[in-house]
Chains A and B, each alone.
Chain A
């Protein structure tokens, strides 16, 4: 409850125009959001764009946001929803996009790169990229977003049973992909 209270105070100040509260939210959650975004889209540049978009949208929402719950989960859900929307738009316009770079994470660091991945995240993302997107989303939101299956079901507009099934399949796939590496 204390963590929730701390975020509530930040939100309360943010809604009243506090730059400091917004800055604190940014500092507190940027790495978690980037980690989730990198796991979901694997392309680091696209992940950075999504997280920046989420923070900008959040910054613009001060007057209308009505959130009394878990701020971290809310922002995580925003990242997942924004990625889903981008994927849908790209599929609709048949544009190369988020999934184009999947399977290979650019190992060369661009000079203007925002997110710097450690080796473990790179390995995890590479494995995730080989999973169907719905399974990857369930596994990422469950492991990194600390969301329940019920919460993920709401995001995916699917039943809890479906989400649990995707989690099982996703974890099995992840196990088989990482099996050799993890035994090292």
Chain B
């Protein structure tokens, strides 16, 4: 990176918009990417890589990215938050312009994005990867302010540290309650990995304590694998209450850390509320989200089914069989990047195949996975039959240890590809 660019980056929060040096601006097509997570940062980088003549601007509010995958390890005291944090220097080095700003408006007719500071960014194609918003209207009694008392920790960062510190201050014998939402939501196995790693912390540090999962569902991702492992590792430390057993939380009271279900009230010492979610607000503003709150897309190009010239990748999208995972987001972004550059060149993208791989840790040396291979079918990304699925239920413990090692390798690999 040259000195002027480095200085631009250093003054990023003040300057907000980092224009490329004038010399690098070409008359090439303009692509704007909204959102610098796994999906958006991958899309920006791979579009620039596929065709350096394209002017790519990545719009992201926060100059530091804090990754959600592995953040349950931070909550359990297994790794520091800084191991989750990445910056955008290498992406800038690759020739992507960075605007550390919030996108406030999208003019789909005039093809421009307006930033909070008033800057207008024109585009030929827009890639939206805004991620999720927590629905503050989704669970009675749970407002944004209540998250200071009952953290969601579903966006990594301060919330992750808050939940960690609450677990550390809890007396032995305490009850940790996790409220898990109905589908769809970000990281389907996440609540259960979290319960597992919290139980790991409790068994070693506060053995008289326990974790209760109050669930708005009757089944969940990798369920048999988790339950099998819990029976082995945490028989007295995890209790899962399904929807049909009265697990759905209808309302909460932050002042008393009480969670109410149809069947009664649960008083928590530490309450982790994972509320219902939808595509982030800018997706609703741009008109790419439907009444479900999520964004329907064409499974070949990831172009919105509602608004032309806007593509959607990552957690905000309706991705058929693909779960809202970082692996999926990255895989979708790379296919979308090829589609965008192909379309800008006036050609037709070929039908893609995509993979998802999703690791969960039940303990530091106990990993399990779900994988899938997907293709477009009837306008949706659909599981290819006979492929994918979860780790074998009867796999020996050595395999669980291997999968835990591969999980660590995966995190290094994907964060290296996107931010390194």
Do A and B interact? no
| B interface with A by C-beta (< 8 Å) | none
